[in-house]
């Protein structure tokens, strides 16, 4: 089965949740209104449906391979990447000064979802390049920008992010890779980096590695980490490629999922030292790397939505075709397609509601990002930045955990056939698992939500979001339809649960950290559930308005029904989650360690 982009839902969000016409009032985005969004998304859909989606199953069955330091990607990937680069897709959100199109994230995020639905293993290569571009734009010298950005933005070269080492996973204070200054402005880099996505491949002329390492004599811990550009091939003054640098791929991993994406072990400096160039200032590498990490965390959230969408499409297709059992109401004496059965409908509605809720949440976050970076008013920028930064762990954490539920449900809808690899349903579940792990596990997102995003400001940002939710509740009650009133009631209960938990976190993080962090992931899931539910409530209001105008009645009624389902079946979990967080910490920590 090939992918069909959900363009109507994406454009609905861009218009009604992200308010693209407001984004288009920001200087530099004047030409990026709804018509532009529609044209770009339609073109993007053609490429992903026609070129990348047919390669997805092939990549799972015939993954990237390594031999004597050389990585060969799945047949067709190299040609597809050439088309991707020539189509200008790598530069979609990047500045026109470096050959990009300078479009807002509001549009780019939807294109990223399509790319990942069509072929997540392929999409990881441009995702890492995006991060490298962001880091260089923020902290790179004029020379580094001049040397690398045009080629990265065009897709002629690709980028990587090198954090993890065999002894240093999430704790980057343990990084041991070292960089020795050479006196001419360059450094020699030595060390081993693992889990490097597209660290070696055959799809581009050069690979630009961004590497965390310690300069000789640097302080211990995270304060002594610097960031370096280490190219696979040295770049001559005229921009052409020179000799091979001393960085080599010594193996690639054999993985549960995303098999076509080569995950490399890279060795730096076995033959005298890899030449590296400092990004920004010494000992500020972690700060710069977090620029890449934040871009990547949002993008991984989009991957969760993307793989869930593909699992949903496949499950719906199977449920319409698979004939099994008579209906429980006896309305037909013969067996019927399983989509007639209430529990199959429940599973499909759950999948659909989760996806639409997370997609709307991510679209609203993208618009906040655009305003936070480009709006002329400093106050508006600050307000939107606080909102966007609160959203990043929700988009990453909630959407990826959601994708595990949805892809598992997709297998369940297929029954025994879902457990058979040849149907393809299992690939989405296997691919989804990494999303809750890389770019910071769900627990790390939850720690971020508690420490940096909630307790640091005494819960003020979270409470401001709750106040916006309350405004939506009032609008639902004013709208007055049975669906709107029912959603308002569910949303109110969920918001109150969220506010209770925010108060608990803000009041107890310093005094009782174990009690708060025992509920950190449940808090993340509660917050994601409530914010996604809020966006579904906003969607219901927008769809009611469009329905009243007679616009696309079938789609709008489906949106209203899905929003009502989200409120009845998913938002209703919030009060119980509140109880487990606020009142259940003791039972998490009570059991003696030797009793496990």
What whole-number distance in Å separates Cα of residue 53 and Cα of residue 57?
A: 8
Q: At 190, list the tokens.
A: 């030595």
The three-state DSSP-derived secondary structure of 159-170 is EEEECCECCECC
Lowest mean per-residue pLDDT among 41-45, 236-240, 288-292, 444-448: 288-292
DSSP-derived 3-state class of residue 235: strand
Which residue in 439, 496, 546, 583 is the catalytic one?
439
Q: What is the mean pLDDT of residues 107-118?
A: 98
Q: What is the mean pLDDT of residues 192-212?
A: 98
Hey, what's the torsion of the CAs at 258, 260, 263, 266, to 10 degrees?
-170
The residues, any chain, with a CB within 8 Å of residue 345's CB and separated by 6 or more, are 339
**pLDDT tens figures, 308-329:** 999 999 999 999 999 999 999 9
What whole-number distance in Å separates Cα of residue 565 and Cα of residue 504?
A: 29
The residues, any chain, with a CB within 8 Å of residue 397's CB and separated by 6 or more, are 301, 436, 442, 445, 446, 449, 521, 524, 525, 528
The secondary structure of residue 14, as a DSSP letter, is I
CATH number of 7-64+73-151: 1.10.540.10
Is the pLDDT assigned to residue 545 strictly greater than 90? yes
Among 146, 210, 188, 394, which residue's Cα sits nearest to residue 274? 188
Q: How confident is the model at residue 510 (pLDDT cuts 50, 70, 90)?
A: very high
Among 362, 371, 426, 372, which residue's Cα sits nearest to residue 399? 362
pLDDT of residue 424: 96
pLDDT of residue 294: 85
What whole-number distance in Å separates Cα of residue 568 and Cα of residue 543?
A: 18
Among 12, 22, 31, which residue's Cα sits nearest to residue 110? 12
Q: What is the mean pLDDT of residues 201-226?
A: 96
Q: What is the mean pLDDT of residues 134-157?
A: 97
The residues, any chain, with a CB within 8 Å of residue 507's CB and separated by 6 or more, are none
CATH top-level class of 157-282: mainly beta
- For residue 191, is it left (φ>0), alpha (ψ between -120 and 50) or beta? left
Q: How confident is the model at residue 291 (pLDDT cuts 50, 70, 90)?
A: confident
Mean pLDDT across the chain:
97
Query: Does the fold of domain 157-282 match that of domain 7-64+73-151?
Result: no
Q: For residue 439, indicate whether it is catalytic.
A: yes
Among 84, 158, 535, 161, which residue's Cα sits nearest to residue 354? 535
Q: Is 580 exposed, middle or buried (0-12, 13-18, 19+ CB in 10 A)?
A: middle
Is the pLDDT assigned to residue 19 strictly greater than 90? yes
Q: How confident is the model at residue 482 (pLDDT cuts 50, 70, 90)?
A: very high
**pLDDT tens figures, 389-425:** 999 999 999 999 999 999 999 999 999 999 999 999 9
Apex 444 CA angle, 14 and 158, nearest 5? 60
pLDDT of residue 198: 98
pLDDT of residue 173: 87
pLDDT of residue 260: 98
Is the pLDDT assigned to residue 126 strictly greater than 90? yes
Apex 161 CA angle, 254 and 28, nearest 5? 130
Domain ranges of the chain: 7-64+73-151, 157-282, 441-596
Is the pLDDT assigned to residue 65 strictly greater than 90? yes
- pLDDT-above-90 percentage for the chain: 97
pLDDT of residue 29: 98
Q: How many CB atoms lie within 10 A of CB 558?
A: 16
The residues, any chain, with a CB within 8 Å of residue 4's CB and separated by 6 or more, are 49, 313
Q: How confident is the model at residue 292 (pLDDT cuts 50, 70, 90)?
A: confident
Question: What are the DSSP E strand ranges found in 281-389?
Answer: none
Q: What is the mean pLDDT of residues 123-127?
A: 98
How far is residue 429 from each of residues 89, 380, 410, 435, measured CA to CA in Å? 27, 40, 8, 11
Q: How many CB atoms lie within 10 A of CB 490?
A: 22
Q: What is the largest CA-CA distance in the chain?
A: 85
Among 69, 120, 66, 127, which residue's Cα sits nearest to residue 253? 66
For the entire predicted model, the pTM comes to 0.98
What φ, ψ does residue 32 adopt, rounded to 5°?
-110, 45
pLDDT of residue 171: 87
């Amino acid at each position: 089965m090939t992918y069909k982009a959900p363009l109507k839902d994406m454009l609905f969000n861009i218009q009604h949740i992200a308010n693209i016409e407001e984004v288009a009032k920001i200087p530099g985005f004047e030409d990026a209104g709804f018509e532009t969004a529609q044209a770009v998304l339609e073109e993007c859909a053609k490429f992903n449906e026609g070129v990348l989606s047919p390669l997805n199953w092939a990549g799972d069955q015939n993954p990237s391979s390594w031999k004597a330091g050389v990585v060969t990607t799945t047949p067709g990937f190299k040609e597809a990447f050439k088309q991707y680069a020539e189509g200008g897709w790598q530069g979609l959100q990047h500045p026109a000064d470096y050959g990009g199109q300078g479009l807002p994230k509001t549009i780019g995020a939807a294109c990223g979802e399509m790319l990942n639905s069509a072929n997540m293993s392929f999409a990881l290569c441009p995702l890492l390049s995006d991060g490298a571009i962001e880091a260089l734009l923020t902290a790179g010298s004029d020379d580094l920008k001049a040397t690398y950005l045009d080629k990265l933005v065009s897709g002629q070269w690709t980028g990587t992010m090198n954090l993890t080492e065999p002894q240093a996973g999430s704790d980057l204070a343990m990084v041991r890779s070292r960089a020795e200054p050479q006196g001419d402005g360059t450094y020699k880099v030595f060390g081993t980096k693992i889990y490097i996505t597209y660290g070696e491949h055959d799809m581009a002329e050069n690979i630009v590695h961004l590497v965390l390492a310690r300069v000789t004599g640097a302080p211990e811990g995270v304060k002594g980490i610097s960031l370096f550009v280490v190219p696979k091939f040295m770049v001559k003054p005229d921009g052409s490629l020179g000799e091979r640098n001393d960085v080599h791929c010594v193996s690639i991993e054999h993985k549960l999922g995303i098999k076509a994406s080569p995950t490399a072990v890279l060795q730096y400096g076995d033959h005298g030292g890899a030449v590296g160039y400092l990004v920004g200032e010494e000992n500020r590498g972690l700060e710069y790397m977090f620029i890449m990490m934040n871009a990547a965390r949002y993008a991984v959230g989009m991957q969760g939505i993307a793989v869930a969408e593909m699992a949903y499409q496949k499950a719906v297709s199977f449920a319409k075709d698979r004939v099994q059992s008579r209906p429980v109401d006896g309305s037909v004496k013969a067996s019927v397609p399983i989509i007639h059965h209430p529990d199959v409908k429940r599973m499909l509605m759950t999948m659909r509601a989760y996806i639409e809720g997370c997609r709307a949440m991510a679209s609203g976050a993208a618009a906040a990002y655009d305003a936070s970076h480009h709006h002329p008013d400093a106050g508006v920028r600050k307000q939107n930045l606080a909102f966007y930064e609160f959203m990043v762990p929700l988009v990453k954490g909630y959407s990826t955990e959601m994708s595990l539920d949805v892809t598992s449900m997709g297998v369940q809808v297929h029954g025994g056939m879902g457990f058979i690899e040849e149907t393809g349903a299992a690939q989405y579940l296997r691919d989804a698992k990494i999303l809750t792990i890389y770019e910071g596990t769900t627990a790390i997102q939850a720690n971020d939500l508690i420490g940096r995003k909630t307790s640091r400001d005494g819960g003020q940002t979270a409470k401001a979001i709750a106040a916006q939710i309350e405004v939506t509740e009032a609008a639902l009650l004013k709208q007055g339809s049975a669906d709107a009133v029912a959603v308002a009631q569910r949303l109110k209960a969920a918001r109150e649960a969220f506010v209770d938990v925010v108060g608990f976190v803000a009041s107890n993080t310093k005094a009782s950290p174990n009690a708060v962090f025992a509920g950190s992931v449940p808090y993340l899931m509660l917050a994601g559930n409530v914010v996604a539910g809020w966006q579904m409530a906003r969607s219901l209001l927008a769809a009611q308005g469009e329905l009243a105008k007679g616009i696309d009645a079938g789609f709008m009624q489906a949106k209203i029904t899905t929003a009502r389902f989200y409120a009845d079946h998913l938002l209703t979990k919030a009060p119980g989650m509140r109880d487990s967080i606020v009142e259940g910490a003791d039972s998490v920590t009570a059991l003696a360690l030797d009793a496990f």
